[in-house]
Structure 1
Amino acid sequence: MLSTKRFRRSAPAFAAAALALAGLLTACGGTEPAKPVAVTSSAPQTSAVAIPKAVGQAPAVAKTQGWLKIYDGPAPAGTNAVQLNVTSNPSVGQYVSDGAGRSLYRFDKDTADPSASNCSGQCAVTWPPLTVARGQSIYVAGVDPQRVGFIERADGACQVTVGGWPVYYFSKDQKPGDLLGQGVGGTWFAVAPSGAKAAAS
Structure 2
Amino acid sequence: MSRSRLALIGSVLAAGALAVAGCTAAPPPAPAAPPAAAPSGAQQPGGHGEHGGHQGHESSAPALWAVQTGPLGVVTTDGAGHLMYRSDADSANPPTSNCTGECAQTWLPVLVTAGVKPQLLGVDPGAVGTITRPEGTTQLTLAGWPLYRDRDDPGGNPNAGRNGLDNTWFVITPTGDKAPAS
Report the TM-score range of the alignment, normalised by the length of the smaller protein.
0.5 to 0.7
Alpha-carbon shift at residue 127 of structure 1 (Å): 0.2
1:182 matched to 2:168: no
How do 1:73-84 residues align onto structure 2 when only pairs under 5 Å count?
A: 81-84=61-64
Q: In 1, are the aligned partners of 2:110 and 2:140 still within 8 Å (CA)?
A: yes
**Mean CA deviation greater in 120-129 or 88-97:** 88-97
How do 1:106-185 residues align onto structure 2 when only pairs under 5 Å count?
A: 106-134=86-114, 136-176=116-156, 177-185=158-166
1:196 matched to 2:177: yes
Match of 2:81 among 75, 95, 101: 101
Q: In 2, are the aligned partners of 1:90 and 1:200 still within 8 Å (CA)?
A: no
Normalised to the residue count of structure 2, the TM-score between the two structures is: 0.65
1:88 matched to 2:64: no
Residue 180 of structure 1 aligns with an amino acid whose one-letter code is: G
Q: How many residues align?
A: 135
Normalised to the residue count of structure 1, the TM-score between the two structures is: 0.59
Greater Cα radius of gyration, structure 1 or 2: 1
Q: Could you list the per-position Cα deviations for residues 152-192 of structure 1 after superposition, in whole angstroms to 9, with x for gaps in the alignment?
A: 00011110000100010112212322543211111111001
Q: In 2, are the aligned partners of 1:153 and 1:159 still within 8 Å (CA)?
A: yes
After superposition, the Cα gap between the structure-2 partners of 1:96 and 1:58, relative to the gap in structure 1 and judged at 3 Å, is closer
> What is the alpha-carbon distance in structure 1 between the residues aligned to residue 89 and residue 29 of structure 2?
41
> What is the alpha-carbon distance in structure 1 between the residues aligned to residue 176 and residue 31 of structure 2?
22
Instruction: Give the match for residue 52 of structure 1.
Output: none
Q: In 2, are the aligned partners of 1:173 and 1:179 still within 8 Å (CA)?
A: no
| Identity, % of aligned positions | 40
- Alignment gaps of 5+ in structure 2: 1-15, 17-27, 39-43, 48-59
Alpha-carbon shift at residue 135 of structure 1 (Å): 6.3
> What is the alpha-carbon distance in structure 1 between the residues aligned to residue 122 and residue 177 of structure 2?
15
> What is the alpha-carbon distance in structure 1 between the residues aligned to residue 96 and residue 46 of structure 2?
31
Moved over 3 A (4+): 55-60, 76-80
Secondary structure at the residue paired with 1:124?
Answer: helix
Alpha-carbon shift at residue 84 of structure 1 (Å): 0.8
Q: Could you list the per-position Cα deviations for residues 96-136 of structure 1 after superposition, in whole angstroms to 9, with x for gaps in the alignment?
A: 00011111100001000100001000000010000101363
Q: In 2, are the aligned partners of 1:127 and 1:168 still within 8 Å (CA)?
A: yes
- Alignment gaps of 5+ in structure 1: 1-54, 61-71
Residue 187 of structure 1 aligns with an amino acid whose one-letter code is: T
> What is the alpha-carbon distance in structure 2 between the residues aligned to residue 110 and residue 155 of structure 1?
16
